[in-house]
Chains A and B, each alone.
Chain A
Amino acid sequence: MTPAIRMQGITKRFGAVIANDAVDLTVKPGSIHGVIGENGAGKSTLMSVLYGFYGADAGTIEVEGEAVTIASSADAIALGIGMVHQHFMLVQTFTVLENVMLGAEGGPMLAQGMEENRQELERLSQNYGLTVDPDALVGDLPVGVQQRVEIIKALRRGARVLILDEPTGVLTPEETEGLFQILRGLASEGVSILLITHKLNEIMAVTDQVSVMRGGKMVAHRETAVTSGSELAALMVGREVSLTREPAVASQGAPALDAKDMTWRDNNGVVRLQDVSLTLYGGEVLGVAGVSGNGQSELLNVLSGIEPMQEGELTIGNRRIVSADPAGPAEMRKLGLAHVPEDRHHRGLVLPFEARENAVLGYHHGPGTGEGRLISPAALTSHCTRLMNGFDVRPPDPMLRSAGFSGGNQQKLILAREIEAAPKILLIGQPTRGVDIGAIEFINDRIEELKAQGCAILLVSVELEEIFALSDRIAVMNEGRIEGVVRRTEADTATIGRLMAGVTGESAA
């Protein structure tokens, strides 16, 4: 059988970064093919090459057996490749019909094209079960139906291969199930589907084949029927977790932070945290493992006060935080909670600020800005110099704009700021993402030091190696839930991998 798509040896570099390294991918016609991997594994780059956004530096693409060159998305469309983007490309104030006919209006006057498109829309609705009211305003439709309109648009342009990039990120569980039914229907009609995702359960639920990417390489191809969630999880995060470092023995102290039944929904009403309960003790590191995008970011945001509490409660010391009595980031800091955010470029630092200005971000009412009514530049400089010396930030120039530091040194500056505040609780998100090897060891040492001083530390990381190296207990998140909490001494990668895949209990495959 001629494959619908055959990509061979695809290599794509961005400067020094190799986003795709000799990647192969073969999609059978009429099948649902999953491509899974963590953020930054190279999935989106590969799809961008297929859809003509990027030219590959090396490699060949065949569509239905014919070698092709895809230089633009127009080429891709002409070859019958359609794409549904993560963020929809719809005109919100147009009707469904107007959106579908965009680019296929059929002449200067609309009446005839309108009629043709309406018939075409009805045909697609009937053939594929894509029911949608052609005269509804797109802006009024639920997200799941808008996505359906995107799929119809692609099919209207003659797509025989449909790429869906993280299609369920914005959907409710019911909408997700609806989408899967549509995909199965499309596949049975001979449309080949490429499903890009980092969610294991979706792969298991809907795909026929699955390809796993990690670090820009294609690491495995599997038939979904003969693989398991835990095998895929292990493949995604790397089979070998080398345990070069053992966490120092903890002397667990008193509970510092106690979260009960926290549920949190985003603006679209999608549940991002579901009944999360956890207790964090002084003098321990609680690692939060999980494939990225399973609620870890939201957990950090709610615990740090950036996002307001919705359901459930959070207790820090004597302060009980509920939605009716929320605590913002400023109050959280007063309660002794410090936060090293996941995204240092957007949250952790104000990039155009000088290093010394960022050294007091969040603490600008504290002693770092001097004692007087006005900010003292001398105090800023000396405070920043002290942080830079203590955490080996290079170059040790308090006046340098923060954007001018390397990732590792930016991270050291943020850690210095948060640790110097002598917190009782420290939340750390992805402490070593984009950080060079030398700085990683340094950062890990500082975290252990802080733990020895009795600080309660919550460490969120998608690097299992890091979780194992630092944590006393490991909580595993999947789809917004905490699937389990395991002592480091009793944990192994297989257990964690199963929990990450959402497979709990004895029935785990």
Chain B
Amino acid sequence: MNIYGGDGPPALVLHHDIGAPERPAFYDALARHFTVFAPAHPGYDGAPRPEWMRSVRDMAVVYQGLLAGHAATREPATVTLIGLGFGGWIAAEMATMAPRGFRRVILVGAMGLKPERGEIADQALLSYIDYVRLGFADQAAFGRVFGAEPPTAQLEQWDLNREMTFRIAWKPYMYSPTLPHLLGAVATPTLVIWGARDQIVPRECGERYVKSLADARLEIVESAGHFVDMEKPDELASLVWHFASEA
């Protein structure tokens, strides 16, 4: 697990199901305050595929092992854990495995819980570009991050990432029926952040995270969709830093 950049207290960022773009502005903004760890998930963005892996919980255990293997992250309650969308689900699973294991947890538009009224958008029915566009409230922001017509290499990467997501989160799609019952024991203060215009994961999932966790509150980012980190990188980094700095 290599350091992405920055110095300061350690922060682990877990990326979306679509992977992470090159040099994300959000990571750079975080690196002004944190030592940022931002690995590609196993099987995503060119990282070798763990053929054996069958669940998001498996992925969370792998990350716990990686944290335990690095000098800067192995001590309990030192790492600020930030999960983006699908990465938020992994982060929530990690928090349940180590109820006091993190300094702070930040879940942004996190998958992992079953909505009671709406649905989590099914990427299997959408083209690579349409799915990613659905996650942006502001289509100009999509263009800034990926270009108006993402190159074929990007599409292939999205396809590989999607295949890995299917391998571990196909059914039930994008949630765990047992996760809500495990969240209650998490003692780590948690900030749940949602884009006001998230069309991929309904906001009710954020409300349910807050209700299920022992110490959590919900923060809404206006005019952002699911990919808050790509649409409002500085605003999100600032929310994270202020929350992590609270006594």
Q: Is the A/B pair a real complex? A: no
Binding site for A on B (CB under 8 A): none
Binding site for B on A (CB under 8 A): none
